[in-house]
A and B are shown apart, each in its own frame.
Chain A
Amino acid sequence: MEDRVSVRSLRDSFVRTFGSIPFGVSLLAVWAVLTLIGVIVDQGKESAAYFAMFPAPLARAILRLSFDNVYHSWWYVGAIALVLISMTTATFTRVIPRRLPPLRPVAIEAIPLNARIAVTMAPDAARTFVEQFFAKRGWKIRKRAFDGTEWTFADRFDWARAGVLVNHLAIVIIAAGTTLYWWKGFSGDAVVLTGGSTEIPQTHAILHLDDFRYKIAPIITKSGMVYQPIDYVSKLTVTGNDGVARAMTLRVNHPIDVDGTLYYQSSYGFGMRFDVLHNGKRVAGFLNQVLGEGDTLSIPNTNLSVRYERFVPTVDKASGQPAPDPRVNDPAVVLSAFNSGAPLGSVLVPLHTWIDLGGGWRVVPSRYVLFSGIQYRYDPGIPLVAAGAFTLLAGLVITFYFLPARLHVRVDPAGAGSTVGVAATTIKGYSIFETQFGELVAEFEKHVTRGG
């Protein structure tokens, strides 16, 4: 018995806490601050980068607290989960149980939004006029008598009370969509050399890159010459689940769909073939290898190695230094040489020239090969996320633009005519309806004098 009581009191205090708006808003604040941390602290960098960017104690704290990977940390996901729990609790305890207030008489003058309009009509005629006036403007009319006094109630946008529910449901749908991706989806990067193929591990699709083209335009601006990329295009032959090879064109902003997985043009780069010479004689085997930037080539039977650091599309003839032009005119590579892992230095080596490593060894960058960087992604959650997003939008529009309101109208005889007393209440207080109420009353007065 006691156990049951304490379980219930625990549950009650959970519901009271999690279902309260201040608590929910505090959780939103926590979520916001965590989100902001990830904006300010660069995400996903090597630890050394943080020590370069921040003082050492701060860098250590960033790494220890996983601020270098905020959005995939357990506490970020946990904060969102708490927001969802709080929202759901509030929805079930505060939003759903809320009922339309019953129709009952009110002290008209005690309600801040009130008006009393003298009309020349007799009370019954005035009541009919009131009904017609508001019904024509979309208000739902109901009449009740309390202690012999007749009241007319006009309601508007009652259905829009569901706006909160729609919003909260939308958030749940979006959360479900993103969870579906974590559960069933995947993504990755593939690099395909011109003339080469790659198999996507998860889908077993085979991408063969027939050709890669890019277009960069030099444009003179006020601040000098700018090289603006215009287009990146991969001509692919793609073999999907059905085993049929199809020619496809992939360009930025135009993904291709192969068996439900989307492929995107994401980057490009320059692979490099090297010729290795020993005492002027070509060493076999090297010309078939293509190195990517950052790859290392080991010289056989020695402790020497050469790292292909980066591609330089154009070398400035006058200075012999890399030029800013990203189009390939006089290409070169930056190579670093090592002996037993110890750096010997880096040099800019134009294509078809060489780096001399001593001992009769020379390495010649001989030919560059363009490669295309392709991102792929299978995300079964997209339809849900999209549906949730548009539901959210609909919810916001309902919440902001359809204000449920009620008019309480009482017509009393006054001399030869009557007075119409009107008071308005809404689900969001009075101020929000002040302007419209003023306009409504003014319109009523205009019509009633015209009608009368």
Chain B
Amino acid sequence: MQLDEVLLIIAVFSYAIAAIALILYFFTREEWLKHLGIPLTIAGCFAQFGQLVARYEITHIWPLLNLYGSLSLFAAMSVAIFVVFAFRYKIWFAGGFVVALAAIFLAYGVTWNEGTLPAVPSLQSYWAKIHVPLVVSSYGAFLVSFVLSCIYLVKYYGERSYQMRLAAAVAPAGAAVMPGAMKVSIGNDTPALDAAAASGDAVAAWYTSLPSLAQLDILVYRVVAIGLPLLTLGIITGAWWAKEAWGAYWQFDPKETAALFSWIVYAAYMHLHTRNQWRGMRTSWVSVIGFLSIIFCYLGVNIFIHGLHSYKV
């Protein structure tokens, strides 16, 4: 077995166990699960980068120019970006989902492994070596923001309904039941839940163990703040390369336009986020749509729609 295959197996297994451990940690908050998941996540990520380097060393072919290579980098960058955020902002609770998605994309990438092929002429450009990693890294960031947005939405809707249930349980018959006042501000945005958590309600305690909605929202924003400039730079380098390879920097090729679509969605996200009333639930939905559009742009267009970017010649 070659070194790259060994590293791939290490990465997949590390991710699989890390994902299970961290997803369990998400629900139970057992610290030992986190301490199991963190090193495995990091080990898997290192193994992945090692695997890409090993493939290059063995074949002398830039490994990112087919779906297998780019999906590997996508998975690795998602995890790498997440790890940096997790250490900075203590968000390991979200790690299981990021790692699980990374593992799924990596495993899917392996099914596209066609062995070693030299690049077709239009991909034989140093721009390919700059453009692809940038775009794929932006996808990685958006994967992380997607997971955090989903957690935001789970907390938002879950807390609302749970708080409503709590309120109904204590409210005298006929009294108006106020839905959870979801004022997004720093600190305590769910007093009823906090009170229930303090008096031993396990579900309430679980909700309150997550960061506040305002904090989750800002986390999403921070990750989009990595993804959007990277996507912009990715589109710019892609356009530059297109100018050299196909004669025009923009030809409305399906891949370009799909990337433009995602870019507009995130630009809309950014604008909505400047408004207090729209920050939070609505922007989280936009972030979810943004990531779905990224996956469409990435896999849907590569696989189902033929254009200049479909790499199979």
* In the complex, chain A residues 100-117 whose Cβ is within 8 Å of any chain B Cβ: 112-113
B257 and A21 within 8 A (CB) = no
Q: Is B55 an interface residue (CB 8 A)?
A: no
Cross-chain contact A389 with B276 (CB below 8 angstroms) = no
Do B268 and A29 have beta carbons less than 8 Å apart? yes
B228 at the interface (CB under 8 A from A): yes
Docked pose: A377 CA to B246 CA in angstroms: 10
Q: Say yes or no for A217: interface residue by CB 8 A criterion.
A: yes
Check: B31 CB closer than 8 A to any chain A CB.
no
- The complex places the Cα of A190 from the Cα of B227 at a distance, in Å, of 40
Q: A266 to B121, Cβ gap below 8 A? A: no
Residues in A206-244 with C-beta less than 8 Å from chain B = 217, 219-223, 226, 228-232
Interface residue ranges of B54-105 to A (CB < 8 Å): 88-89
How many angstroms from the CA of A21 to the CA of B261 in the assembled complex?
19
Instruction: Choose, from B11-19, B171-179, B248-256, the stretch at the interface.
Output: B248-256
Other-chain contact of A393, B117, B233, B248 (Cβ < 8 Å): B233
B3 at interface by CB-CB < 8 Å: no
For residue B98, give the distance in angstroms from its CB to the closest CB of chain A.
20
Annotate B100-125 by CB proximity to A: 1 below 8 A, 0 otherwise.
00000000000001110110111011
Q: Assess whether B22 is interfacial by the CB under 8 Å rule.
A: no
Which of A145-153, A269-277, A423-431 forms part of the interface with chain B? Answer: A423-431
Which of B115, B212, B225, B264 makes the CB contact (< 8 A) with A222?
B115
Which B residues are in CB contact (< 8 Å) with A255?
244, 247
Q: Which residues of A contact B258 (CB under 8 A)?
A: 36, 39
Query: Does A252 make an interface contact (CB < 8 A)?
Result: yes
Q: Please, which residue of chain A has its CB at the minimum distance from the CB of B306?
A: A42
Within 8 A of A (CB), among B289-312: 301, 305
List the A residue with the shortest CB-CB distance to B265.
Answer: A32
A187 pairs with B114, CB closer than 8 A:
no
Interface size classification for chain A: 35 or more
**Is B35 at the interface (CB under 8 A from chain A)?**
no
Chain B residues whose C-beta falls within 8 Å of the C-beta of A203 in the assembled complex: none
Q: How far is the CA of A388 from the CA of B196 in the complex (A)?
A: 54
Residue of B nearest to A430 (CB): B186
B305 touches A39 (CB 8 A): yes
Q: Once the chains bind, are B232 and A229 in contact (CB under 8 Å)?
A: no
Given A71-B257, A222-B115, A223-B114, do A376 and B247 touch, yes or no (CB 8 Å)?
A: yes
Asked if A322 is at the interface of the complex by the 8 Å CB criterion, the answer is no
CA of A375 to CA of B122, assembled, Å = 14
In the assembled complex, which residues on chain A have CB atoms less than 8 Å from the CB atom of B212? 431
Partner of A434, one of B88, B218, B248, B267: B218
Contacts of B254 in A (CB 8 A): 38-39
- Asked if A253 and B264 sit within 8 Å, CB to CB, the answer is no
A14 within 8 A of B: no
Check B274 against A21 for contact (C-beta < 8 Å). Answer: yes
Q: Which of A228, A253, A397 contacts B122 (CB 8 A)?
A: A253
A432 at the B interface (CB under 8 A): yes
Closest Cβ–Cβ distance, residue A335 to chain B (whole Å): 26
The interface centre, meaning the residue of B232, B244, B264, B271 with most chain A CB atoms within 10 A of its CB, is B264
**Nearest Cβ in chain B — how far from A122, in angstroms?**
32
Asked if B159 is at the interface (CB within 8 A of a chain A CB), the reply is no
One digit per residue, 1 when the CB lies within 8 angstroms of any chain B CB and 0 when it does not, for chain A 161-188 equals 0000000000000000010000000010
Chain A interfacial positions (CB closer than 8 Å to B)? 21-22, 24-25, 28-29, 31-32, 35-36, 38-40, 42-43, 71, 112-113, 178, 187, 217, 219-223, 226, 228-232, 251-255, 262, 264, 266, 375-377, 379, 382, 385-386, 389-390, 392-393, 396-397, 399-401, 428-432, 434-435
The 6 tightest CB contacts between A and B, nearest first, are A400-B225, A264-B247, A252-B121, A375-B247, A112-B186, A32-B264
